[in-house]
């Protein structure tokens, strides 16, 4: 399935920077509208290491009202969480409140993929885990939550190239760990596990969007557009009218230039 994705899709940086202010303004307006109408939104960001999840999230949140969203980076479970709680417990506390947007950098899916590829789960336990996830997401959807799940996809070759670029940059090298390289060596194993995961957990109420992420500009635009379309659909007649953005790019050009200068090639 993922092998058939066209990873050559791209747009130029110039085109991306031209449309970015409009996308950010539209998302801000929808964030406000969802807050006013008590509609919760959950954005799940998954994907390969160095696929650009972090930079996509940064672009999404750059112009949002910080009072209306929360961002949670998801790591592995702690020992006491494994031993004393149901495995989804640590995520129950991170679901969005009424009107709130929550963005998860990693999620329950990260945990499943990691344990699955390490052989830590039997086939029976894996089926039960997927059932838990589908039921959990169904519960959130039935409660009115807009659920959007993204998987940022890059090839093994592209991932290696990005790792090498990061490793040469003193400001980025610290982000690259032995675990990242270990997962890269098991790319094909993770690929098979990911394809199974995507197929089993794809639902009408919590759909997956595969994002072609070789071009980070294309990836960020697609994430914006999918979220905006879903929030507009959920708001229906309550969706705010689209406003024309004039001069927005020029107004914050200095800020964008300063942010771009903070690091090299960020993924």
Q: What value does the mean pLDDT take over residues 129-152?
A: 97
Q: What is the pLDDT of residue 257?
A: 54
pTM of the model as a whole: 0.90
263 confidence band (pLDDT: 50, 70, 90): very low
Question: pLDDT of 71-94, one tens digit each?
Answer: 999 987 765 555 578 889 989 999
Q: Which of 65-69, 195-199, 234-238, 255-259 has the lowest mean pLDDT?
A: 255-259
| Distance, CA of 224 to chain centre | 11
Token readout for 55 is 């930079």
Q: Which of 47-56, 61-70, 248-257 has the lowest mean pLDDT?
A: 248-257
- Residue 45 vs residues 7, 100, 208: alpha-carbon distances, Å: 18, 17, 10
pLDDT > 70? residue 251: no
Q: Which residue has the higher pLDDT, 153 or 116?
A: 153
E-assigned strand segments in the chain? 41-47, 69-73, 101-105, 146-153, 208-212
Q: What is the mean pLDDT of the chain?
A: 91
Q: What single string gives the DSSP state of each residue in 177-194?
A: -HHHHHHHHTHHHHHHHH
pLDDT > 80? residue 167: yes
Give me the CATH topology for the region 2-243. Answer: Rossmann fold (3.40.50)
Q: What is the pLDDT of residue 266?
A: 62
The proportion of the chain whose per-residue pLDDT surpasses 90, expressed as a percent, equals 78
pLDDT > 60? residue 215: yes
Residue extents of the structural domains in the chain = 2-243
Q: What is the pLDDT of residue 253?
A: 52
113 confidence band (pLDDT: 50, 70, 90): very high
Question: pLDDT of 172-197, one tens digit each?
Answer: 999 899 999 999 999 999 999 999 99
pLDDT > 70? residue 68: yes
Q: What is the pLDDT of residue 250?
A: 47
Tally of CB atoms within 10 A around 177: 10
Lateral strand order in the sheet of 146-153: 69-73, 101-105, 41-47, 146-153, 208-212
């Amino acid at each position: 399935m993922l092998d058939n994705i066209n990873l050559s899709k791209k747009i130029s940086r110039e085109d991306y920077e031209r449309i970015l202010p409009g996308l950010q303004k539209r998302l801000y307006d929808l964030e406000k509208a969802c807050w006013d109408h008590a509609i919760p939104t959950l954005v799940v960001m998954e994907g390969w290491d160095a696929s650009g999840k972090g930079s996509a999230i940064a672009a999404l949140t750059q112009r949002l009202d910080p009072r209306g969203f929360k961002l949670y980076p998801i790591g592995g479970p702690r020992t006491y969480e494994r031993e004393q709680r149901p495995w989804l417990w640590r995520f129950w506390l991170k679901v969005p409140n009424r009107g709130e947007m929550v963005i998860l950098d990693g999620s329950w899916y990260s945990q499943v993929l990691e344990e699955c590829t390490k052989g830590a789960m039997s086939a029976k336990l894996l089926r039960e885990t997927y059932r838990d996830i589908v039921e959990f997401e169904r519960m959130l959807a039935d409660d009115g939550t807009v659920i959007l799940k993204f998987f940022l996809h890059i090839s093994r070759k592209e991932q290696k190239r990005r790792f090498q670029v990061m490793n040469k940059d003193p400001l980025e090298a610290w982000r690259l760990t032995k675990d990242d390289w270990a997962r890269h060596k098991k790319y094909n194993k993770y690929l098979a596990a990911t394809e199974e995961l995507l197929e089993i957990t794809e639902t009408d109420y919590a759909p997956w969007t595969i994002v072609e992420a070789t071009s980070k500009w294309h990836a960020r635009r697609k994430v914006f557009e999918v979220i905006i379309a879903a929030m507009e659909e959920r708001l229906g007649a309550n969706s705010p009218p689209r406003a024309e953005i004039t001069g927005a790019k020029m107004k914050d050009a200095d800020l964008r230039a300063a942010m771009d200068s903070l690091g090299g090639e960020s993924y």
